[in-house]
Structure 1
Amino acid sequence: MRTFAVFLLLPLLVFSQIEINPNPATINSGIMTITYGAQGDYTLFDPMSDPNLLLYTGLETDGVTATWDFHDDFADISTLVPFNYDNTLGYYIAQIDVAGRTYVEEPNLNITTIPAGTQVNDWYFLIATTDLSRQSADLKGSDYGWQQATLSNDVLEELELFKIMNQKLIYSGSDVITLHVYGLSGALIHTTSIKDAITDLSFLPKDQLFLLRLESHKGVKVIKYLN
């Protein structure tokens, strides 16, 4: 289990540096937007002119605050959320659907989605450079507007109605789903909308790994796909 340190920060300083929208947010909020440095204050973590950072995230679900029970895989940075500098806005911005992600689950370290009905007490995150050479202190979501909640049974319902067979993504749900296909570099390769359909993926280069991002009004699911 990942153990985190506790740091005391003044509330005014916290909210001037990092903001979460919507606020308050819970496990059922869908896509959350996290911003850093909107007030030009980078004393929490100095990016040192690095325009590309990462968010490492974790969830506490068993009431033991010293450990994260579901978390990203530090050994595979493709599981971390890009936290990039927006030149137009003038600060760092990231988006994440906490409920729709796959995580490493403690203590068995298996890769899984969060089971429906799981009580999520807090969401944790830290900021890291893309080479993982530097990272911020562990940050507690409840300091930024996160509220404990139980994962709804229907949040991932439509997003579970997928299977991949013979280079085809088969979806049997009634909702309209937006599919984004990304390379491991983060470049967007293809976008389409699907509903009760079979989507051909054979156009993608062979023997390469891709990230399929499936979005509905209920949330987001990301699938790793080797063509």
Structure 2
Amino acid sequence: MLVLAFDTATAAITVALYEWIPGEGAVPRGVAEAVDRRRHTELLTPSIAQVMAEAGAAPADLSAIAVGVGPGPYTGLRVGLVTGRAMGEALSIPVHGVCTLDIIAWATGREAPFVVATDARRKEVYWARYDSARARATEPAVGPPSDVPEGMPVVGEGGALYPEILGDSGHEPLLPAAGALAELTIARLAGLKVPELLPPEPLYLRRPDAKEPGPRKKVTPA
């Protein structure tokens, strides 16, 4: 089973190609990482081409696609989801969504409770509490850093942005990695008890900044 994974819900444009081999588990075949808050569209497709070429794989070789569903800002998140759904439809393969906070949590490998927090802009964070790297305890939420439960380590970029509120140590990893996304997806497909896979639909938690214009106001003759 060959799984292409990518996430664009944060400043990271992260892509990985992993193969599931019985007896060996999830084996990396190609990885591409970039950090750029404004160039998700320009960087994602070349990164996918890079990891496929690195592995000597063709699109027809893929068994599934895994994509981060956020929470995250509207524009960047949409890039990954639209790309994932388009590829899945063209190749007639399943597209699995994974909460971006779960991806970061999985990469920590932690066994004790902690919080994942990412940058939600507007001086807010997206966050969720975890019992371990494999088990989320709360639904994702968005709000000021002061909403995050006290007394637990906070990992992710949100923690690093507000150390005066969330503590000033132990925030790694700051951003999601597609390798962790691929590993989590393969583990779930293999039947392990890990965070659930979701439909490839965006988890926004709040409305996008852009709004449709309302009807034009009538002009009353003088």
The TM tier, using the shorter chain, reads: under 0.3
Which of the pair has the greater relative contact order for Cα pairs under 8 Å at 6+ separation? 2
Question: Which structure has more helix as a fraction of its residues?
Answer: 2
Question: Which structure has more strand as a fraction of its residues?
Answer: 1
- TM-score, L = length of structure 2: 0.26
- TM-score, L = length of structure 1: 0.26
Q: Which has the larger radius of gyration?
A: 2
